[in-house]
Structure 1
């Protein structure tokens, strides 16, 4: 067993592989049912518990730390960031605290904190009833956004364009509060926030903070459907130098304001006519396999740095790595119904520039309406000489694939 160990919370098997490749021992905290024979061959110890329940986690990690002496905690998933912060605080391990992790998870608290410290933000208020929606519109104007305070995957986001849409928006909130979804254990939809709507193109910034020093690794251009669900991403963003500098400065200001001192961040923004405005941020690598796009484009393995830095094999860069090539992803969708036929995946995989084709449905599976990221049915990842070329490969691969549904 390795002398130095990391506690990894959840995530894909690559988390564990990459920590071991860097010479670390792994203590693994995972939900029951997610542990595989490969995990068993790689980790020094595993604790299979509901890590959303702190009353269970606290005594487990206390005993695990005494027995295995891990010196850091890492997670690459949203479900693990708050518990990682609690463990950092409990054991005095440094890194991102629970308060900071919670601030990033709770979108209302984030807005209130930014306003309190004088950082750039937008107006926001909690939605407790229909009258609160009407009051927000009267005070701050239309359109405005309504979304879950701690939501994920674009689920439950609404654009309220005028007073005539308030009643429907409130009905949707009531519906969502009573609904269930596959990850409700981690992301309950019980509180909602209204925010002033920010117009402009959408981007995300992938960064890594080294002992308080923020390094912007990539600017990602976001492509969305009309209901805010992501349709794709491309690196590098197709943006001019002045706007790029403004976005970078906005992210650094934000990360300083909320107190991020270590590790990965994925910060989403819109470039408004008045400049960049942060929409939300997360102290983890970007989802939608953005971490894989970053590695393909810049050779920077955000996942390896998350689970293993600091270590000899991962030097801390002083600036953004050199761009190697562009990388993009487009997501696959289908009409609601039962899948009756799929074809073209192998043909798509064979296209030059395609790195991966992930089709997550097969004949007999049910496809729901596109209301969140979880309703997409797969994705294509490709590279090219520039952003347009990478996206063109993705589009061609998607065009080769057919998913038919019935009913």
Structure 2
């Protein structure tokens, strides 16, 4: 490893965040003269390439903090800063950084940012306080059998949500309405029983947002979800369209969530539902990490601030900004699926096919936009592997691609752009198949 003035310690990351790790490593070296060490379970050759040092240790081990201190304690002087970059490590990683004498938000309260059941227990403990702030605290219970599920359903005849306690990306979340098939819903979450499954009262609010940011600096992102049995996220939009009352309600809820899970200086992504009148809220779940679906990338384009760089600066002791500038544009991350149940791989498309570019062009034409009003920032196939996808996505695994777009005009609303783009994408994808089939028949 080349000479540095110390190390930034990154505790775990999800594979979808590899570009963010590379970005932070580069910034830590350029701005702070620091190398980067990474701790994760079963590190790969790629992990060794993107960091200066890798340490093989599973953050889900019950003795992770103790084992990590035993491995690294004698070198604590080498580590100048640390961050925790995965849900799996949010508590154990914070505990390790505390043992190494590095600045980090509370490990004692961090479990609520990982375990949905633990967070609901925290809410219940402070129910009177939260309800006084017009926050709905939903009824909930752990379930381990059909009998448990039936008992909860009897208390909530209009329906309920059943979900794993420790899974992200909407995995395993099933909405059961009145008259729905409870047994089928329980079967869908049965694979998660070992780590815990809960039933929750349906939150009666339709609109959902996330309270995102770092330290005391925040912005509010609007979430667009599918309707029906599988409430999967299909897009994230920034800035959210809010009036002053709605913004105040979400800010009040988001900050109280941070208090419950011990967030103070680090990142957060709290998912919150808002009532139609904008005066009441309910928390879907908290997170002590940057939001997924490129939310911090959206913030960079909209506000001109790189929150990943600010996070590293904060870990090295610099205070993050307290306020954000006015937005420069609007932006969205859009999840893209398939038109119907099918086996799919990007290799199935004709070599010259450009379905996303075609969909963006068709969207601009449909909404009367100039081509430079709507720009593509990122597009990526989520997997090259050929496998089965559902036409109606059940979770994020049913999306074949993800894209980020920026709208540089006020002559259209970004939400209308997202809805149109997702429709045009399905047509463009099928047109790409048509070229393959036509070529095969010639």
Structure 1 residues 10 and 117, CA gap change in structure 2 (3 angstroms): same
Counterpart of 2:223 in 1: which secondary structure? strand
How much does 1:327 deviate?
0.9
Aligned partner of 1:220 in structure 2 is 221
Which residue in 2 is equivalent to 1:371? 394
Closer, same or farther in 2 for the Cα pair 1:360/1:158, shift >3 Å?
closer
Q: Cα offset for 1:234?
A: 0.6
> Counterpart of 2:377?
355
List aligned pairs for 1:2-401, cutoff 5 A: 2-11=4-13, 12=18, 13-23=22-32, 24-36=34-46, 39=49, 43=52, 45-53=53-61, 55=63, 58-67=66-75, 69-118=78-127, 119=130, 120=135, 121-162=137-178, 165-174=181-190, 176-177=191-192, 190-199=195-204, 200-209=206-215, 214-216=216-218, 218-226=219-227, 227-273=230-276, 275-311=280-316, 316-334=320-338, 335-339=341-345, 340-341=348-349, 343-345=353-355, 347=357, 352=372, 353-362=375-384, 365-369=386-390, 370-385=393-408, 388-390=412-414, 395-396=420-421, 398=425, 400-401=428-429
- Residue 195 of structure 2: SS of its match in structure 1? coil
Shift in CA distance, 360/177, structure 1 to aligned 2, threshold 3 Å: closer
Q: Distance in 2 between matches of 1:63 and 1:372?
A: 38
1:146 to partner: Cα distance = 0.9
Quote how far apart the aligned CAs of 1:360 are. 3.1
Instruction: Provide closer, same or farther for how the CA distance between residues 77 and 306 of structure 1 changes in structure 2, counting only shifts above 3 A.
Output: farther
Determine the C-alpha separation between the residues in 1 that align with 2:150 and 2:143: 10
Q: Which structure 2 segments of 5+ residues have no match?
A: 362-370, 437-442
Distance between the aligned counterparts of 1:37 and 1:111, measured in 2? 35
Cα distance in 1 for residues equivalent to 2:93 and 2:159: 37
Contact 1:103 1:258 in 2 (8 A): yes
When structure 1 is superposed on structure 2, of 144-153 and 80-89 the one drifting more is 80-89
Q: Which has more radius of gyration?
A: 2
Aligned-partner Cα distance in 1 for 2:156–2:417: 43
TM-score (norm 1): 0.84
TM normalised by structure 2 equals 0.78
Between stretches 291-300 and 82-91, larger displacement belongs to 82-91
Structure 1 residues not aligned, in runs of 5+ = 179-188
Deviations 1:312-351 (A, max 9, x none): 8x65222233312111111111243143325215735896
The offset of 1:75, in angstroms, is 2.8
- Give the Cα–Cα distance (whole angstroms) in 2 for the partners of residues 88 and 37 of structure 1: 20
